[in-house]
Structure formats: structure tokens, C-alpha cells
Amino acid sequence: MMERDLRVPIIVVSIAIPLAVAVILLVPGIRIDFGFDTHALPLFHAILNSMTAVLLLFSLYFIRRKKIKVHKTLNLIAIGLSTIFLISYVIYHSSNPSTRYGDLNHDGILSDSEKLQAGFMRWIYYVVLSSHILLSGAIVPLVLVTLQRALQEKFDKHRRIAKITWPIWFYVAVSGVVVYFMIRPYY
């Protein structure tokens, strides 16, 4: 594969994605009508995250058995699923208000009684969600650099960064599913 320095595009994408997501989540007036019902997308996101986690497990299994082509294929599919997830995530959050954990009456405000009813699980949810969000931002450049090194056949460098990328990516995929199941009663 041709050697190209992709640092600038990787940096641009790594900044643009979290910035776009932050704007969508933090600016409440941004709501887009996509012409279809987007309420089923969180379940779709959980399915994509589950599939990504399974692919990452199999990818690790196959690379440890020196099945490089299978490893590569599984990782490229995982990147494709993650890309679909990201596009769908932006569509969902730009067309729906954020859901608050514990908001039983769906008014967007947590009353004292709703907080009390959510109890300690609310704090567990926010810890999992916070770690998921922070690591989601970190995983974008890690995956892109890991992919670049593999495609450029810089396998020693690929292996070194993959040892960091894989567990973070796996955690992001799994914690995304956990977050979905925890917030699901409040959609």
C-alpha cells in the first residue's frame, strides 16, 4: 500500500466528530426532521455496538491464531459498523431531545421523587455513560491510526497501538449496550 501521511485527516476527523456530537447534544434548539421515525434508532445502536463487540472478540481470537486475513476482514467490518453507528447516532440525537435517566414522566425534568426512585442506579448509569462518552472520543483517532498502520503494513507499530486500541474500543462497544439497557425504560 502506498505510504501516505494521514495525520492531518486523522486529526481533523478526530476533532470534527466529537465536536459535532457535542454541538448536537449541548445545543437544545438543533432538531432536524429526517422524514422518518427515528425512535427505534437507540435499539439499532445497541445492536450495532453488540455486533462490533462480537467482531472485536473474534478478531482478537483470529489474530492470536495468525489468521491475518480473517482478522483484517473482521476489523474492517467493525469499522464499517462503527461508522454506520456514528451516522445513525448523529441522526437520532439531532432529531430527538436527550433522554434523562430516571425521567419517568418524560418531561425532560427530574423531580425529587424521580431522583429518589432512580436511586443509586442513576449514579452508576452516569459513571458508565461518562466513561463511555470520554472513551468514544478517544477511540476515533486510535482506530484510525491503528488502521493506517495496518494498511501501510507497519505491523510492529500496528501491534503496539492495537494493544491500546482494542480494549478501549471493546469497552466502548460493550458500555454502549449497557447504557442502552439502562436508559431504555426512560425512552
Q: How far apart are CA 171 and CA 165, in angstroms?
A: 10
Do the domain assignments include residue 27? Answer: no
H helices of 27-154, in order, are: 41-64, 68-95, 112-118, 120-151
pLDDT at 26: 80
Q: How far apart are CA 50 and CA 181, in angstroms?
A: 12
pLDDT at 31: 83
R_g (Cα) of the chain, nearest Å: 18
pLDDT at 3: 60
The packing angle between helices 41-64 and 155-183, to 10°, is: 150
Residue pair 115/122 in contact by the 8 Å Cβ criterion? yes
Do the domain assignments include residue 12? Answer: no
pLDDT at 1: 45
pLDDT at 111: 94
How many domains would you assign to the chain?
1
Do the domain assignments include residue 125? Answer: yes
Do the domain assignments include residue 19? Answer: no
Residues 6+ apart with CB under 8 A from 96: 31, 38, 39
Q: How far apart are CA 69 and CA 140, in angstroms?
A: 23
Task: Report DSSP state, residue 22.
Answer: H
Taking the chain (187 residues) in runs of 10, the rounded mean pLDDT of each run is 72 88 80 90 98 98 98 98 94 90 91 94 96 95 95 95 98 98 93
Do the domain assignments include residue 20? Answer: no
Domain extent, residue 66, equals 40-186
Do the domain assignments include residue 129? Answer: yes
Do the domain assignments include residue 128? Answer: yes
